[in-house]
Structure 1
Amino acid sequence: MFQLTATPASALVDEPVHIRVTGLPPLQMVTLMASVKDEKGNLYQSRAFYRASKDGELDLKQAPALGGHYVGVHPMGLFWSLKPEKAFERLIKKDVMNSPFWITLDLYDSVYLQKSGEVQPRASQVVQRWFSSPEVRRVQVQEGRVRGALFLPPGEGPFPGLIDLFGGIGGLVEHRASLLAARGFAVLALAYFAYADLPKQLQEVDLEYFEEAANLLLAHPKIQKPGIGVISVSKGAEIGLAMACYLKEVAATVCINGCNAIFEFPLRYRDLVITPIPSFPERMEFNNMGALCLRHYKGNPRDALNQHSVLPVEKAQGPILFIIGEDDQCINSKEYAEQALDQLRRHGRSSGRMLLYPGAGHLIELPYWPLCYASWSRGLAFPLVWGGEPVGHAAAQEHAWGEIQKFFRQHLVPSRSTL
């Protein structure tokens, strides 16, 4: 009697799942498949081929995959190797509070290459992957100009407060904020274009909007004083770095694959206007999938003519953690982080640190999340290449998630007056 178990059957998405099979014939070749549908009904699947032990058992903590979407011992490989059935789709969770992703695990007693459902699997299990805990509270934010969603952990607090910024995807992206709230942070997922009554397209970055959001967060009675953290990726990381440089409310900043200078749109803050470094559309390249690579598209912040656009990282009051995918195919994020660290050192500052991940691409997400190598992007006629290779990217996501939480717990400490 074949038995497939996956424990825990219901858990937060950053928790590993232990997959085991028992009751197999000795040394039986089997296929394990995972499948999930997103909220639009798009299908994502993965499969791997394994050989049972002499005792007719299979434990993914110990057994190597012999082929399929990955090879070797990877206990969570079926999760992070999920691939979209439709090219260039990106797996994203919108409703983070009310429903999980339901991932179906199927066992076949052969090397199974047909589509899911064409043959009845010998055993199946469904696991629920949640993006928040039931005790977390989500509060819609529409105050002054600020638009977003605030996620509050259970209890009285005060909690370390974070602002969470995504990039060119626009809209309101909540899955990282909701999960961080389940881990004890109060997080404002902040929209800044293409949401509600905000501008439909990003034409300039008004830093006073982000300052308003920071002050709104700090004014909340459950938010720890005196400063907040910022977690940010891509265009959001460019804005996050600017917040670290100019806003006194920001005490610690995580920049995931961002820039050290202003690109594409001007940045305004009070009387200051920073014009963007020119870009070179003629340097864009198509890969063999027909997706667009922007890695060489931007001008170089080291050029003398571009110095006016470089962010003054030496003015940042708190520490900055740069999380960098070495295979980022969207921007030259490693070079930008190195430039920022050089600038800090020249000013006698040691407040910057870089975590460099070989094989990781641009979209470093939650642990065990599928690599999105290329996907459609807002306002573009072609999909964009983000980069990354599955094993290295998965390792980066798992390690970085722990480092991000440690960084904020270390540097967002209460003021003496509240101790």
Structure 2
Amino acid sequence: MSQLTATPASALADEPVHIRVTGLTPLQIVTLTASLKDEKGYVFQSQAFYRANEVGELDLTEASSFGGDYVGVHPMGLFWSLKPKKAFRRLLKQDVMNSPFWVTLNVYDSVFLQVSTTDQPKASQMVQRWFSGPGVQRVQIREGRVRGALFLPPGEGPFPGIMDLFGGRGGLVEFRASLLASHGFAVLALAYFGYEDLPAELGEIDLEYFEEAANLLLAHPKIQPPGIGLFSVSKGAEIALAMACFLKQVVATVCINGTNAIYEFPLRYKDLVITPIPTFLERLQFDVLGAGRFRHYRGNARDELNQKSVLPIEKAQGPILFIVGESDECLNSKDYAEQALEQLRSHGKNNGRMLVYPGAGHLIEPPYTPLCYASPQSNFSRLLLWGGEPVAHAAAQEHSWGEIQKFFREHLTETRRKL
């Protein structure tokens, strides 16, 4: 009798699962599938074809898929290759505290190009993918102007403090913050528009709002002084870089696929106003699906006329880690990171580092998150193209997640040791 085992059956969403099938006939061909339903009811599915070994067993850490959604040895391929049944949906966990994603793993006889509801699996198992570990606390933040959620690891602390900034989708996005808190960081997931009483749309970026949030985080008794880290992506990375330049509270910054200058909206800090570099709608490109490619529509930060909009990165006190997907279709993020590093070097600074991932797209997320190639964006009438190739993107997510944690551990705790 066939048996499918996935261990651990309950784990954090960024932890690997070991999948094995036993009780097959020698060299038998089977189809393995994974499926989950998100909180909005959308179904995500994946499948891969395998051949059992000489004793009728299958171990995904060794066996190579010969078809389906991926080819080759990929122990977590069934997870990162999950695709929405209704195209162009991004898999996003909403409730990070109270419920996991339930993933159903099935094994079927032979090759099924399309598994139907009438097909009976030979064996199956459900696994839970949690976004917060045991003892993690979520504290709703509504203090002064600041809106967000603070995630605290179990224990007395103090813990390294991090602020988490997402991009142009707005609202409050918590899944990265809750996962990082499960690994020992105190993380403030910060909303800055499209949430509660904050502005509905992104307009002028008021850096004093982010300074207020940084001060609030540092004042918490469980946050270790003297400074905080920033974890950011896209528009959030632009804001994080500005914070690193102007705010003394920031001691370490991670920018995923961001810019080195101010775009779209002016940035204000006290008496300083940085005007944005112009954008050119006529340069906006569309792929065969009609999805918008934003990569080329922004003005060039290298042009002399645009120098006043380039951030003074040489003023950043702490280290900056730029994470770049070379197949980012939303931003020419590699060029922006290279410009930032050139600027640092020209001022005799060496506090910047870049990790470049060939084949990775714009939305580099925690490990085993499925690639979202394109999805709707609230402030854009069409699909927005994010880019990325599934296998390379999955590898980038797994590697960068480890590097991000290593970076924050080194620089947030090292800062404390120097006191």
Q: TM-score range by the shorter chain?
A: over 0.9
Partner of 1:381, secondary structure, is strand
In the alignment, residue 179 of structure 1 is paired with which amino acid? L
Distance 2:15 2:241 in 1: 30
Q: Which residue of 2 aligns with 1:196?
A: 196
1:135-164 superposed Cα distances (whole Å, 9 cap, x missing partner): 000000000000000000011111000000
Distance 1:44 1:294 in 2: 27
Q: Which residue of 1 aligns with 2:268?
A: 268
1:333-377 superposed Cα distances (whole Å, 9 cap, x missing partner): 000000000000000000000000011000000101100000011
Tell me, yes or no, if the aligned pair for 1:262 and 1:310 is still in contact at 8 Å.
yes
1:347 aligns with 2:347: yes
Residue 415 (structure 1) shift:
6.0
Q: Which residue of 1 aligns with 2:125?
A: 125
Tell me, yes or no, if the aligned pair for 1:368 and 1:394 is still in contact at 8 Å.
yes
Partner of 2:380, secondary structure, is coil
Q: Which residue of 2 aligns with 1:313?
A: 313
In the alignment, residue 202 of structure 2 is paired with which amino acid? L
In the alignment, residue 59 of structure 1 is paired with which amino acid? D
1:42 aligns with 2:55: no
Distance 2:309 2:418 in 1: 38
In the alignment, residue 362 of structure 2 is paired with which amino acid? H
Q: Which residue of 2 aligns with 1:162?
A: 162
Tell me, yes or no, if the aligned pair for 1:374 and 1:385 is still in contact at 8 Å.
yes
In the alignment, residue 26 of structure 1 is paired with which amino acid? P
Partner of 2:409, secondary structure, is helix
Structure 2 counterparts to residues 14-413 of structure 1, below 5 A: 14-413=14-413
Q: 1:417 to 1:184 in 2, by over 3 A?
A: closer
In the alignment, residue 178 of structure 1 is paired with which amino acid? S
Distance 2:416 2:352 in 1: 25
Residue 88 (structure 1) shift:
1.1
Tell me, yes or no, if the aligned pair for 1:70 and 1:81 is still in contact at 8 Å.
yes
Tell me, yes or no, if the aligned pair for 1:358 and 1:392 is still in contact at 8 Å.
yes
In the alignment, residue 367 of structure 2 is paired with which amino acid? P
Distance 1:219 1:189 in 2: 16
Residue 286 (structure 1) shift:
1.1
In the alignment, residue 221 of structure 2 is paired with which amino acid? P
1:10-67 superposed Cα distances (whole Å, 9 cap, x missing partner): 0001110000000101111100000011100000000000011111010000000000
Distance 1:3 1:177 in 2: 36
Partner of 2:359, secondary structure, is coil
1:78-100 superposed Cα distances (whole Å, 9 cap, x missing partner): 00000011111100001000000
Tell me, yes or no, if the aligned pair for 1:226 and 1:414 is still in contact at 8 Å.
no
Partner of 2:217, secondary structure, is helix
Distance 2:221 2:410 in 1: 21
Residue 418 (structure 1) shift:
10
Tell me, yes or no, if the aligned pair for 1:162 and 1:230 is still in contact at 8 Å.
yes
Aligned residues with identical type, % of pairs? 75
1:148-200 superposed Cα distances (whole Å, 9 cap, x missing partner): 00000011111000000000110000000000000000000000000000000
Distance 2:97 2:34 in 1: 23
In the alignment, residue 347 of structure 1 is paired with which amino acid? H
Tell me, yes or no, if the aligned pair for 2:225 and 2:416 is still in contact at 8 Å.
no
Residue 274 (structure 1) shift:
0.3
Distance 1:108 1:395 in 2: 27
Partner of 1:278, secondary structure, is coil
1:288-317 superposed Cα distances (whole Å, 9 cap, x missing partner): 122111110111100000000000000001
1:315-337 superposed Cα distances (whole Å, 9 cap, x missing partner): 00100000000100000000000
Partner of 1:412, secondary structure, is helix
Residue 116 (structure 1) shift:
4.3
In the alignment, residue 287 of structure 2 is paired with which amino acid? N
Tell me, yes or no, if the aligned pair for 1:225 and 1:414 is still in contact at 8 Å.
no
Deviates more, 1:278-287 or 1:207-216: 278-287
Tell me, yes or no, if the aligned pair for 2:103 and 2:128 is still in contact at 8 Å.
yes
Q: 1:76 to 1:416 in 2, by over 3 A?
A: closer
1:355-400 superposed Cα distances (whole Å, 9 cap, x missing partner): 0001100000010110000001112110111000001000000000
In the alignment, residue 48 of structure 1 is paired with which amino acid? A
Tell me, yes or no, if the aligned pair for 1:329 and 1:362 is still in contact at 8 Å.
yes
Distance 1:401 1:416 in 2: 23
Partner of 1:344, secondary structure, is helix
Residue 416 (structure 1) shift:
6.0
Residue 117 (structure 1) shift:
2.0
Distance 2:116 2:292 in 1: 31
Partner of 1:180, secondary structure, is helix
Q: Give the number of equivalent residue pairs.
A: 419
Tell me, yes or no, if the aligned pair for 1:6 and 1:19 is still in contact at 8 Å.
yes
Tell me, yes or no, if the aligned pair for 2:325 and 2:359 is still in contact at 8 Å.
yes
In the alignment, residue 79 of structure 1 is paired with which amino acid? F
